Amino acid sequence: MNSKSNGPELRAAARSFSPYVPGLSIDEIKERYSLNQVIKLASNENPLGVSPKVLEVLKTSGCLSFRYPQSGVPRLTRAIATHHHLPASMVAVGNGSDEIIDLLVRVLADPGRHNIVAFKPCFSIYRLQAKLAGVEFRQAPLKPDFSFPWEELLSLVDANTRIVFVTSPDNPSGYCPPAEELERAARALPSSCLLVIDEAYMDFCDDEAAHSLLPRLREFPNLAILRTFSKSFGLAGLRVGYGLLPEYLADVLTRVHLPFSVNILAEQAALTALEDMDFYEKTLATVREGRKMLSSKMRELGFEVLPSQANFIMVRPPNGLAANDLFEKLLQKGFIVRPLKSYGLDAYLRVSIGTPEENLLYAQACEEIIG
Ligand SMILES: *Cc1c(COP(=O)(O)O)cnc(C)c1O
């Protein structure tokens, strides 16, 4: 790290900042192992790619690139509100839900005074953005079966806790707590603390109604829900996510964010994605079927497979095979999955659900390696 220079000194939080660790890219692996074909099951992207209708719109919208988008993307905000049967005043759209996470930290928590609480391990952006903001980050270890120890979490909450982040379904385990658990947590938290439920993967759940508080959002004054276009809508590269929030928070987020953080093509694409429910439903069906198929296939091969409600499964290889060895061997065969070292789960891998064909090829590759 070259942090030493003659310029102004960096803040301590910036000096010691270690960035988000993304999945490897297809081109990287093609080059490293001289492969023609690489299958990426590492970043929970949409197995069906981009909706054909979105692709059409992107082709014809390039000519708008010289224009600034409308600040606050009001058309998309209204479309999202309609999609969830909520008023537009409860929606804040961002450059991925990552931006909403970052903004919530910065509008709610004072550095050196307030704290933020989450489970451990958790989606690393919560910790990273808290750290960059200079805000204390507290974590309660998940139970051995990766379910949520609410008592431990609540014991970390005090009068200075401004946010509790919970991911449901959870990343990387795929665990999805029942809605009643979340309701109890929301009611147990002091009103000075916002419960943020990150539902990036909720639409892949077999029974959304039993697991999401979204339909009842307005009953809870201290509840926010995050959703994204990156997974089920297939727009990870365009960066659109949103928060469904109490009005005063949606209002402040749309006032403090950089004016054009959602670009004009991303807005067009997201608007069209919301209209292409055929593609969306096909995605959900593909993921749900693939998840069932791949989970049972992996179990047949002797893997431990955590029950998942997301578009990925977390697995532990059989016969004492180290997860990292399997990861390397899969790379050589042209399959990229996600090692979980950065989550502190060295024994496990996370595998995104692909197309039926990709899932089959992946299972075959595992079978060959395990022998
Ligand atoms: C993928 C993911 C997101 C989505 O992030 P975007 O910035 O919207 O792409 C949010 N939370 C979790 C837990 C995720 O895994």
At 120-154, the pLDDT tens digits run 999 999 999 999 999 999 999 999 999 999 999 99
Q: How far, in Å, from the CA of 128 to the mean position of ligand 1? A: 14
Same fold, 14-43+278-370 and 52-275: no
Per-domain residue ranges of the chain: 14-43+278-370, 52-275
Say if residue 2's pLDDT is above 70: no
Q: How far, in Å, from the CA of 252 to the mean position of ligand 1? A: 21
Please write the tens of the pLDDT for every residue from 260-314.
999 999 999 999 999 999 999 999 999 999 999 999 999 999 999 999 999 999 9
Alpha-carbon distance of 234 to 45, in angstroms, equals 7
Q: Whose CA is nearest to atom 11 of ligand 1?
A: 200
Q: Is the CB of 241 under 6 A from ligand 1?
A: yes
Question: In terms of C-beta density within 10 A (0-12 exposed, 13-18 middle, 19 or more buried), how is residue 105 classed?
Answer: buried
Residue of 45, 93, 95, 97 to test ligand 1 pocket, by largest number of atoms within 8 Å of CB: 97
Please write the tens of the pLDDT for every residue from 161-220.
999 999 999 999 999 999 999 999 999 999 999 999 999 999 999 999 999 999 999 999
Q: How far, in Å, from the CA of 370 to the mean position of ligand 1? A: 32
Q: How far, in Å, from the CA of 13 to the mean position of ligand 1? A: 23
Q: Is the CB of 174 under 6 A from ligand 1?
A: no
pLDDT of residue 6: 84
Q: What is the pTM of this model?
A: 0.96
Residue of 175, 198, 257 to test ligand 1 pocket, by largest number of atoms within 8 Å of CB: 198
Q: Report the topology of domain 52-275.
A: Aspartate Aminotransferase; domain 2 (3.40.640)
Phi, psi of 162 (to 5 degrees): -100, -30
Say if residue 78's pLDDT is above 80: yes
DSSP string for residues in 128-179:
HHHHHHT-EEEEEEPPTTS---HHHHHHH--TTEEEEEEESS-TTT-----H
Average predicted confidence (pLDDT) for the chain? 96
Q: How many residues does the structure list for the chain? A: 371
Q: How far, in Å, from the CA of 125 to the mean position of ligand 1? A: 9
Task: Return the residue matching tokens 């595992």.
Answer: 366
Say if residue 115's pLDDT is above 80: yes
Closest to 128 (Cα-Cα) out of 10, 243, 13, 261: 13
Please, what sign has the CA dihedral across residues 216, 218, 220, 224?
positive
Task: Return the residue matching tokens 């890219």.
Answer: 25
CATH number for the region 14-43+278-370 comes to 3.90.1150.10
